[in-house]
Amino acid sequence: MFGLLDSGFQFFTWGNALMIIIGCILITLAIAKNMEPLLLLPIGFSIILVNLPLGGLMDYEYKLRAQNPGIVKEIVLEKRTAFETGSTIIKTDAEELASPVYGRVKEFKVKENQTVEAGDVVAVIITTAQTDQSKIPTEPVGLLSRFFAFGIMWQILPPLIFLCLGALTDFGPMLANPKTLLLGAAAQFGVYFAFFLAIFFGFSLPEASSIGIIGGAEGPTTIYVTARLAPHIIGATAVACYSYMALVPLILPPVVRLLTTKKERGIYMKPQLRKVSKLEKIIFPILTAIVVILFVPDSAPLIGSFMIGNLFRESGVVERLSKTSQTAFIDIMTIFLTLAIGGTMSAENFLRLDTLKILVLGVVAFASAAAAGVLLAKTMNLFLKNKINPMIGAAGVSAVPMSARVIQVLGQKENKSNFLLMHAMGPNVAGAIGAAIAGGVFIGILG
């Protein structure tokens, strides 16, 4: 601007424009269709913000260093010029120094004909790439990149959101009818089916694990696992997970109808569940944490947080902690988490063929998880005296409590006197525990 200030227009690309449209679509879905507004609205706006060039909200600094001593022969690029991964930035008489990340040069630390030693910083590069810090160390310098680095990469926000979810979860229906734990386990089939498919789609094992875990239908678990195993695809996996959670009312019904007969969908279940004592509800989170973490130590941050939040709720002596976790605290964590996730969706990061593949695999993960739950419920009915409505198996797709509500609506359509909500909540919360365990197993093997 008047030669004094760079404007963003010169760096604005068609990719940025497309991402801004995607951001607007998410905001529209949140406002007009009320689809997961607490998540999609901040993610949508964050997408818009990071696609405005030079805004710098999601920037990281990478220091390009000389590998060998030499004399600088040529500075190939001009300051602020955008370049692709692998572009040569500086040539010395000993080597060509290429950037391992895309971005633009913030400043050069050397001049032509200057002598450099091995390890000297020759240029500071600004990038929005999510890198493997052990190989390409970067430093967050933008507001959202700091949220992302210290909230998500340090694995603080997802476990804290899990703590809040624990405070919001009533395990009563599951404790009253513990065989529904099996349905929650069966639904994890979707995780492993999508994991396997992702490998055939050409993804690496850590990437495939992060894609498979979308089938667990737990946003914080998906983000936690992806941050540990494949941070460069975190935007796509998080958006796939949250979008499909919002689309559960569209994904579950066709799967359920395809796999059940009208008669099966009409199976009546008595609304009265066994009364669960307060003592049982207090003991359950403590025992679960001990058992699960001993078997799968890497699930400790998620399961531990989930169970301590639930103990806040059930103990009855820390009402302030329970109330805060259920209201203000989860809202604050959600703001940080969603802004950071939206921040990863710059055009350079998101507009790739891999993103499309992840979105396709995500819906396969959800549908196959629901199908596995229904099929196990049908199998269980072969042995049970009191039959269960196989539709509640589909609620093993976590997405608490959305999938249980969808099953309640489907049940009412088939049999007006059938109230399946409480029955479906059992596999629903079991699915949340199952997803956290599945995530812990992936991290344990590949992390």
Partner 1 sequence: MDIGLALKIALGGFSMVFFLLILLWFTVWATKVVTEKITKTKS
The Cα–Cα gap between 317 and 141 comes to 42
Q: Amino acid identity, residue 232?
A: H
Give strand pairing partners of 105: 125
**Among the candidate windows 64-72, 87-95, 278-286, 381-389, which touches partner 1 by CB under 8 A?**
278-286
Residue from 5, 32, 279, 317 binding partner 1 (CB under 8 A): 279
# binding residues, partner 1 (CB under 8 A): 40
Q: Is 3 exposed, middle or buried (0-12, 13-18, 19+ CB in 10 A)?
A: exposed
Q: Read out DSSP for 135-152?
A: TS--EE-SHHHHHIIIII
**Among the candidate windows 8-16, 42-50, 82-90, 272-280, which touches partner 1 by CB under 8 A?**
272-280
**Among the candidate windows 8-16, 35-43, 290-298, 404-412, which touches partner 1 by CB under 8 A?**
290-298
Determine the number of helices (DSSP H) and then strands (DSSP E) in the chain: 20, 9
Instruction: State the nearest-atom distance from the C-beta of 279 to partner 1, in Å.
Output: 5
Residue 284 in contact with partner 1, rule: CB under 8 A = yes
Residue 19 in contact with partner 1, rule: CB under 8 A = no
Q: Is 121 exposed, middle or buried (0-12, 13-18, 19+ CB in 10 A)?
A: middle
The Cα–Cα gap between 177 and 194 comes to 29
Residue 229 in contact with partner 1, rule: CB under 8 A = no
End-to-end CA distance of the chain: 47
Q: Write out the binding residues for partner 1, residues 161-190 only, by CB under 8 A.
A: 174-175, 178-179, 181-182, 184-186, 188-189
What angle is formed at CA 312 by the lines to CA 310 and CA 316, rounded to 5 degrees? Answer: 115
Residue 288 in contact with partner 1, rule: CB under 8 A = yes
Instruction: State the nearest-atom distance from the C-beta of 274 to partner 1, in Å.
Output: 9
Residue from 10, 67, 85, 204 binding partner 1 (CB under 8 A): 204
In sequence order, what are the residues at sequence separation of 6 or more whose Cβ sits closer than 8 angstroms to the Cβ of residue 16?
51, 52, 53, 346, 347
Instruction: State the nearest-atom distance from the C-beta of 220 to partner 1, in Å.
Output: 17
Instruction: State the nearest-atom distance from the C-beta of 172 to partner 1, in Å.
Output: 11
Binding site residues, partner 1, CB under 8 A: 174-175, 178-179, 181-182, 184-186, 188-189, 191-192, 195-196, 199, 204-205, 208-209, 277, 279-280, 283-284, 287-288, 291-292, 295-296, 430, 433-434, 437-438, 441-442, 445-446
